[in-house]
Amino acid sequence: MHVIPLTDDAGAVTGGQWLARAESVHRQLRPQLPADYAGRLATIFANGARLAVVVDDAEVICVALWRLIENTAEGRRLYVDDLVSDAARRSQGAGKMMLDWLAAKAAALGCDALALDSGVQRQHAHRFYFREGMHIPSFCFRKALK
């Protein structure tokens, strides 16, 4: 297993052959993504997001969508929009490998924190995040506008 970044620092897709392979794993977390997966991600990349995958041979087994954010509460942080391991391959080290890669990337980019949100229903993911040294510093509030 190893991590492959699929976008460069400008958001250009550099691992195009892996993008199509990432879709089925990504949809396990985000089934509502539109049919034009590549087009939707191109828009997200244009707004600062980046994508990386963990692969085992020719199979994508973990996907992370992330971006850099600067704010007054945490300073510079690497924020993970999506982190998902293939349900059929969980607990085999891919999620840890990706989280470790994201932490190293954050450190290399001068970040003060690595952060993500996780739905309240995702208790298995929460146990993983706690085991990996993450904590819950605050509540996240939302109001739907549509």
Distance CA 36, CA 95 (A): 26
Strand 75-85 and strand 59-71: the pairing is antiparallel
Residue 145 lies in a domain: no
Contact by Cβ (8 Å): 20, 63: no
Q: Mean pLDDT per segment of 10 residues, for the chain of length 146 residues?
A: 89 85 95 94 94 94 96 93 92 93 97 89 86 89 90
Residue 139 lies in a domain: no
Instruction: Count the domains in the chain.
Output: 1
Distance CA 2, CA 101 (A): 10
Instruction: Provide the pLDDT for residue 122.
Output: 86
Residue 98 lies in a domain: yes
- Domain span at residue 85 reads 2-131
26: CATH? 3.40.630.30
Instruction: Provide the pLDDT for residue 14.
Output: 86
What is the SS3 string spanning 114-143? EEECCCCCCHHHHHHHHHCCCCCCCCCCCC
Residue 88 lies in a domain: yes
Instruction: Provide the pLDDT for residue 68.
Output: 96
Contact by Cβ (8 Å): 50, 110: no
User: What pTM, to 2 d.p., does this model score?
Assistant: 0.90
Instruction: Provide the pLDDT for residue 94.
Output: 94
Contact by Cβ (8 Å): 80, 49: no
Distance CA 116, CA 64 (A): 11
